[in-house]
Amino acid sequence: MPNPVPKLRTRKPTCVVPYPLVLVEGEEKGGKTFEAARFSGSPHVGNVYWLELGEDSADEYGAVEGADYELIEHNGTYRDIMGQVEAVHAESKRAAAAGEKPVVLVIDSGSQFWRMLVNWTQDRARRSNAGQKALKYDPDAEIKPGMNLWNDAAERWHRLMYFLRTMPGIVVLIARGKEVQALDGAGNPIPNTKTWRVEGHKSLAFDATVWVRLLRGDDSAYVVGARSLKLKVPREGKPLRVPDFSLEKLIFEMMGCKQHAQPQATPQLVGDLAQPWVEEVEKTAKEEGLDGLKKLWKTVGKDESLSRDEINVIRAAMEREAAALTNPPKLDDPTSEAARLRAAAAAAEEEQERERDPFADDLPTAA
CATH code (residue 38) = 3.40.50
Q: Assess whether pLDDT exceeds 70 at residue 328.
A: yes
Query: How many residues in the chain?
Result: 367
State the pLDDT at residue 146.
Answer: 92
- The verdict on 169 and 282 lying in the same domain is no
Per-residue pLDDT, 331: 64
Per cent of the chain over pLDDT 70 is: 86
Residue at 58 is within a domain: yes
What is the model's pLDDT at position 355? Answer: 56
Distance of CA 168 to the CA centre of its chain: 18
pLDDT band per the 50, 70, 90 thresholds, residue 197 = confident
What does the pLDDT read at residue 214?
93
Q: Where are the beta strands (DSSP E) in 53-158?
A: 70-71, 104-108
Question: What contacts 24+ positions apart, CB below 8 Å, involve 350-357?
Answer: 357/137
Question: What stretch of H or E contains 354?
Answer: helix 337-356
- Residues 171, 111 within the same domain: yes
* 308 within some domain: yes
Q: Are residues 292 and 175 in the same domain?
A: no
Specify whether the backbone of 144 is left (phi greater than 0), alpha (psi in -120 to 50) or beta.
Answer: beta
Structural domain total, the chain: 3
- What pLDDT digit, counting tens, does each position of 216-230 carry? 888 889 999 999 999
Report d(CA 163, CA 82) in Å as an integer. 9
For residue 134, give the 3-state DSSP assignment. helix
Residue 84's domain comprises 21-254
Instruction: Give the confidence band of 347 by pLDDT, cuts at 50, 70, 90.
Output: low
Backbone angles phi, psi at 135, to 5 degrees: -75, -20
Q: Is residue 11 part of a domain?
A: no
pLDDT of residue 361: 45
pLDDT of res. 365: 44
Per-residue confidence (pLDDT) for residue 307, from 0 to 100: 87
Average pLDDT, the chain: 86
- Assess whether pLDDT exceeds 80 at residue 262: no
Asked whether residue 76 is domain-assigned, the answer is yes
Can you tell me the mean pLDDT for 252-260?
A: 86
Distance CA 228, CA 246 (A): 17
Q: Do 302 and 203 fall into the same domain? A: no
Residue 265 resides in a domain: no
CA 118 to chain centroid, in Å, comes to 12
Whether residue 356 is predicted with pLDDT greater than 60 in this model: the reply is: no
235 and 345 together in one domain: no
Q: Name the most confidently modeled range: 1-15, 108-122, 185-199, 234-248.
A: 108-122
- pLDDT bin (cut points 50, 70, 90) of residue 352 is low
| 3-class SS of residue 352 | helix
What confidence tier does 107 reach under pLDDT thresholds 50, 70, 90? very high
Identify the pLDDT of residue 15: 85
User: Per mean pLDDT, which range of 56-70, 142-156, 177-191, 347-361 is the poorest?
Assistant: 347-361
Taking residues 293-314, report their average pLDDT. 88
pLDDT of res. 273: 83
Q: Residue 242: inside a domain, yes or no?
A: yes
Average pLDDT over residues 261-271: 66
Same domain, 238 and 344: no
Asked whether residue 13 carries a pLDDT value surpassing 50, the answer given is: yes
The model carries a pTM of 0.77
- Residue 59 confidence (pLDDT) above 50: yes
Residues 139 and 278 both lie in one domain: no
- Tens of pLDDT along 75-98? 999 999 999 999 999 999 999 989
311 and 199, same domain (yes or no): no
Give a yes or no: residue 5 inside a domain.
no
Name residues whose C-beta falls within 8 Å of residue 259's C-beta, 6 or more positions apart in sequence.
44, 101, 102
* In a shared domain, residues 221 and 279: no
Task: Say yes or no to pLDDT of 363 above 60.
Answer: no
pLDDT value at residue 113: 94
**56 part of a folded domain:** yes
Average pLDDT over residues 287-301: 90
Q: Which long-range contacts (CB under 8 A, 24 or more apart) does 253-256 make?
A: 254/230, 255/17, 255/20, 255/210, 255/226, 255/228, 255/230, 255/231, 256/17, 256/228, 256/230, 256/231
Verify that 117 and 222 share a domain, yes or no: yes
